[in-house]
Structure 1
Amino acid sequence: MRSPRHENGPPDLTTPGGFGAFYEEHIDAVLGFVTRRVADPHVAADLTADVFLAAMDSASGYRPDRGAPVAWLFGIARNVLSGHARGLARESGALARLSGRRLLGDEDVAALEERIDAQRAFRALAEQHAALSEPLRAALDLVVLDQLTPAEAARALGVTQATVRVRLHRARRALRGSGPAQYPVRETHLEVAR
């Protein structure tokens, strides 16, 4: 079946019927063009479909004075194949950059998730710690981080041991009341501070 033509003879690519007839007339030629350049039959079928999609998109730009319709289709096919080759080159380059890198296993993903959760909890705790008044923060840091006894912390701060105990109690209560994150307070020192 020949494609419908205008009065002067070029194919009518602007109507579904005209383009369907054009497709039927040229599918074998385009498929042959593509399969001579691509070994995989599935890729060849996909690329052939891409050629006709591109032809449909640019049908309004078809100029019969520039050559036969099949030559126009082969020009489109060359562009489609070239784009496909560029895509393969990009993919090959990406795979080459990844080669030698270990992909994450389930254990790695679980470890990363734990680390992210720990960092999130740490940031929340750091914000809570920063919100404490300086006297509460100083007493807490000396006992928890520097691992001094309340008596040693009192000497370092120049206050009484009772003052340090009160500050530790208030700091602990403030941190526990701020949310689920717990300040890693050593219970032995807190028991003494109570």
Structure 2
Amino acid sequence: MTPAAVAFEAIYQAEFDVVMAYFARRTADPQTAADLTADTFVAAITSFSTFNRSKGTARSWLLGIGRRVFAQHCEAVTRGRDVVVRMHGRRVLSGHDIDDLVGRIDAERKGRELIKEAAAALGVSSGALRIRLFRAHGKLRGQA
């Protein structure tokens, strides 16, 4: 084994229980604690060449990596919950509903193309034409 591999193995042997305990205090699931510990040591071994003993102990270096691994885990869990919350209130669309939405999207696309053509014919930007149409529509609603 290389000197770096021997050094890392010594750190792994000495600090494994500390890192595992760190995650065990933060999660109730033993499998999650084991996964996070493994992720921490994978990150540590890939960045071992940058470890500088003069800047701190191996334990503090590993726990710093562990903090980042745990933060990423929490972020992923939160994103997953957000998706569930967003999806919870939605209904499943029927084939008819989907066809209707596709038709509306196509109509909107055609409308945007017509606005671009009309704006070009009038010599204004499409945004300016949309504003003019919006104002005209508002005036018409006020007269009705």
**Same-fold status (TM-score > 0.5):** yes
Which portions of structure 1, spanning 4 or more consecutive aligned residues, are displaced by more than 3 angstroms?
none
Give 5+ residue unaligned stretches, structure 2. 100-144
The one of 41, 44, 67 equivalent to 2:56 is 67
Which residue number corresponds to residue 39 of structure 1?
28
Unaligned runs of 5+ in 1: 1-11, 116-194
Report what 2:72 is aligned to.
Answer: 83
Instruction: Give the TM-score normalised by structure 1.
Output: 0.45
After superposition, what is the alpha-carbon deviation per residue over 1:152-194, rounded to whole angstroms, capped at 9, x for unaligned? xxxxxxxxxxxxxxxxxxxxxxxxxxxxxxxxxxxxxxxxxxx
Residue 5 (structure 1) aligns with: none
SS of aligned partner of 1:101: coil
Amino acid at match of 2:27: V
Structure possessing the higher relative contact order (Cα contacts under 8 Å, 6 or more residues apart): 2
Relative to its length, the structure with more helix (as a share) is 2
Matched, 1:22 2:19: no
Mapped partners of 1:103, 1:59: distance in 2: 49
Q: CA RMSD in A?
A: 2.1
Quote how far apart the aligned CAs of 1:18 are.
3.0
Q: Please tell me the residue identity of whatever aligns with 2:35.
A: D
How far apart, CA to CA, are the structure 1 residues paired with 2:55 and 2:79? 33
Q: What are the equivalent positions in structure 2 for 1:121-132 lying under 5 Å apart?
A: none
Query: How high is the sequence identity, in percent, across the aligned residues?
Result: 38
Query: Greater Rg, structure 1 or structure 2?
Result: 1
Per-residue displacement from partner, 1:134-166 (whole Å, max 9, x unpaired)?
Answer: xxxxxxxxxxxxxxxxxxxxxxxxxxxxxxxxx
How many residue pairs get aligned? The number is 96
